[in-house]
Homo-oligomer: A and B are copies of this chain.
Amino acid sequence: MNFPLVGRQLGLLLIVTSASILAVATWSCGEVLWGNTDELQPLRALMLTVAIGSLCGAGLWFGMRGKAEAIGRREAILLVALSWFIGAGLAAIPFWLWAAMAEDAADHPFSSFVNCYFESMSGLTTTGATVLTEVSSLPASLLLWRSVTHWLGGLGIVVLFVAVLPILGVGGKRLFRVEAAGPTPEGVTPRIQEAARMLWMIYLGMTVAEIVALKLVGMTWFDSVNHTLATLATGGFSTHNASVAGYRSVGVDLVILVFMVAAGVNFGLYYQVIRGRWRSAYRDTELRWYLALLGLGTVVVTNCIYNQPYATTTGETAAAGLGSALRYGAFQVVAVQTTTGFCTADFDQWSFVAKTVLLGLMFVGGSAGSTGGGVKVIRCLMAVKIMWAEIEHVFRPNVVRPVKIGSATIDQDMKLSTIVYLLGIAMLTVVGAIGLMMLEGGGSLDVTTAMTASIATLNNIGPGLAKVGATCNYEWFTDPSKYLMIVLMALGRLEVLTIIVLFFPRFWRSD
């Protein structure tokens, strides 16, 4: 294991993160210069963090010289895993410093560092679970930084690395492999750097488009920017206590819905479209199933909540009628399956069937290669086909029928790793729920809350049911539970294996 090399890259990560914080600080500085004194304290916190981050980063970068060889597979894995834990650590500091320095923030959740770390890990993993009850009590620049963590995490700090900083050389491809979520039978492109740069441009383009669109439907620039960063990363942090419903605008709901759907699509398909291969994008199997599931979920949920009483997240009773049911049903289905986790309705009040559908979709998640979490549509699709083939194998042991996704045949190794992954996620969900129940003191946490908190963090969704429902938050958990959920969020975002391997002694042994 080439530790100096890993250390050097982590130094770079700290510098890049500090630069992002600096960008937010610059905006904050502008506010202060134009007379908004509320931003003075957060500005101090941000600037201090920039200083800490860039000093540590520079120290690591220049201190860890090491051999300039190409990054190996194990180094790449270690780097990706550490990136999220260390990145989240730095990203948490502005919150914590602000709460420590501000006079009026004595009882603020951010007085405790674990809350800050939970919030920043939730941001970077694009989970969107929050410890804040009064979101709007946070200064504007910290709200912005909170949203920026989403955006940075969204397409992956590492993809950013690959696209912007072609320093890693051959390591770039390896990193991308580890990072790009889920198995893609076709791959994105062999020319990984060009692709990463392109993906980055697409992400940026979509960001600009959504900001403008949200502004056009009546949001302030500040809120547009924040919600855009959270939407495209399938994150879910809002600047409004009542999340998206706080705007009471069909236009806002619709724009965000459209961009959530877009964020859950494999970004490789946009790349193909830009390169003129409309056809292959249009005929993509996963895309079709992804859209079909969203459609089917919407139909079922809308049917369940049609003319049933339930509250929106603002606390008002949702209007009766099909239009309203479709509005809230479609939004919540999309928000949950794409693992964004924005809320307009308190779906905890919905019928058992509707909640079951939402829970199922939470597991499925977005497409591979999107910013969405969950186990990914293509894995579910493969699992169904593999199980189908296994069942047929029982009564026709001599018939060998290849399992195909589109035109690509899934080989035996990929079959096994897909099913193992799904079984692993199922086990982790249960282990997470049991762990939460134990840490909270057996019996004091109900099973629904424990299970959905585990699902919502492991699949990077945000809200769950019962005590972690649409109108609730995660502050009330004990610190050990929060640490467990921090690990669950990272596990989910990094496809589990990236972190699990670190606990294998063999991983650390030299070849």
Contacts and interface: CB of A to CB of B under 8 A. Distances in A.
A165 interface: no
Q: Which of A420, A424, A504 lies at the interface centre, i.e. has the most chain B CB atoms within 10 A of its CB? A: A420
B352 A395 contact: no
A446 B74 CA distance: 46
A356 B393 CA distance: 35
Copies of this chain, whole number? 2
Given A395-B507, A412-B412, A448-B447, A356 B390 contact: no
Interface secondary structure of A, over-half rule: helix
Given A396-B506, A415-B416, 18 more contacts: A73-B395, A73-B397, A351-B442, A352-B437, A352-B442, A353-B442, A356-B434, A383-B423, A390-B497, A391-B500, A393-B417, A394-B497, A394-B501, A412-B413, A419-B420, A423-B426, A426-B426, A447-B447
Interface of A: 73-74, 77, 351-353, 356, 383, 386-387, 390-397, 412-413, 415-417, 419-420, 422-424, 426, 434, 437-438, 442-443, 446-448, 451, 497-498, 500-501, 504, 506-507
A381 to B, nearest CB: 14
Contacts of A501: 391-392, 394-395
B442 A451 contact: no
A414 B6 CA distance: 39
Contacts of A391: 497, 500-501, 504
Give the 6 A-B residue pairs with the shortest CB-CB distance, closest first: A352-B442, A447-B447, A419-B419, A423-B423, A394-B497, A390-B420
B390 A417 contact: yes
Nearest to A426: B426
Q: Which of A437, A446, A447, A451 lies at the interface centre, i.e. has the most chain B CB atoms within 10 A of its CB? A: A447
A387 B424 contact: yes
Contact of A504 (B73, B392, B417, B426): B392
A447 B451 contact: yes
Contacts of A73: 395, 397
25 contacts: A73-B397, A77-B394, A77-B395, A352-B442, A352-B443, A353-B442, A356-B434, A356-B438, A386-B416, A386-B420, A387-B420, A387-B423, A390-B416, A390-B420, A391-B497, A391-B501, A391-B504, A392-B501, A394-B497, A412-B413, A419-B420, A419-B423, A422-B423, A426-B426, A447-B447
